[in-house]
Amino acid sequence: MSQMRTPSTPSKIAPFSISIPEADIEDLRQRLKSTRYPRTSPDAGWRYGTDKSFMEELIAHWLDKYDWRSTERRLNRFPQFVTNIDGYDIHFIHERGSGTNPLPLVLTHGWPGSFVEFDSIIEPLAHPERFGGSADDAFDVIVPSIPGYGWSSPPSRPITTRDIAPLWNKLMVDVLGYPSYVAQGGDWGSLIASWLGVDFTEHAKAIHINIMGLRPFTGDGSAPFDADETKWLAKARDRLRRESGYQVIQGTKPQTLAFGLTDSPAGLAAWIIEKFHGWSESPNGIPPFTLDQLIDNVMIYWFTQSIHTSTWLYTAARLEGGMGLGKDEKVTAPTGFMACPFDLFPPPPSSWVERTYNLVHRTDLASGGHFIAYERGNDLVADIRKFFRNYR
């Protein structure tokens, strides 16, 4: 029996397709042709940020070989919609699954990613029988863009991931009519999924994350750290010390940064792609993604002019929190965790995860990093299928 029901609060859902005016594409090309490259030391490589020679190669590819219209057609093969929830226009993909009872699954991206990260895993999740699997594992796949990202409207001020979770619950329950669902996410998406697992457990049956973004309560009355936790915290803090420059500027003065990134496609690409290099398994210093994949993601930010508002989650985290649990709070929804060794932080010990989550499933990958749907999509699909079988 299908889990769909009549929405309790009717909400207008408008079909949506991506169609960028040719004038915008030509404007982008002219800006790329006028790129001014910075002076760098001969042996800089990726040591101080994005590698100059890599950017020269990427921009040449962008101008001479990359085909946005092909990307547009590929993304438009998925049914896309926009609906208004609490004043926000939310853009989302809704790919209905095969079989008699596909499980509703909301996938959420983070920064500096976008909904395009999930391009290659939507169909295997929705139609597993087309990829050597069973239709019994099918999902109705819903991929919304976070407010301020892509074609979702921005907030009027910075909001937290806990503020976004109610929007997702309303999308799934009130707009799409699912009485229950499951959620998956990485980066900010992992926090949004986690808050669903705290605040909306009557609807969110289980969650799956590929980074542990939500922090446990460690104040008075919490258990002391064990040896594994202490060792991991030292590694995580060292990693943060080396990688957190972007968090500081995006958490304090994002508007200053936005002037350059909104005006220069090369600058925007360099800012974003440095993370795709640094938070992934990068043999020989080359990000493990195709140039087209990297450009696809940058194009979403460029055409929607959303880089500024995409950073507001960092500003809100600094000003309002939303990154950690309060005393006596826990993610009570059953949680699956895929640990990726080359992510922003090293995989935490299970004892640390269990401080925050009702951890019932863990998979440790031998490789892969932050953008796991791009890097190891087949592994992510397999783990999502395996974990959520118990919640159908």
Active site residues: 187, 314, 370
- Provide the phi-psi class of 153: left if phi over 0, else alpha when psi is between -120 and 50, else beta: beta
Residue 144 corresponds to which tokens in the numbers above? 């919304």
**Which residue is it, tokens 């760098």?**
40
Residue 117 corresponds to which tokens in the numbers above? 């990260």
CB 72 within 8 A of CB 18: yes
| Gap between the Cα atoms of 262 and 229, Å rounded | 41
Q: In what order do the strands lie in the sheet with 13-16?
A: 13-16, 80-85, 88-95, 139-144, 103-108, 181-185, 204-209, 331-339, 357-364
Name residues whose C-beta falls within 8 Å of residue 52's C-beta, 6 or more positions apart in sequence: 37, 38, 40, 44
| Gap between the Cα atoms of 311 and 246, Å rounded | 10
| Gap between the Cα atoms of 385 and 128, Å rounded | 9
| Gap between the Cα atoms of 217 and 329, Å rounded | 8
Name residues whose C-beta falls within 8 Å of residue 1's C-beta, 6 or more positions apart in sequence: 100, 101
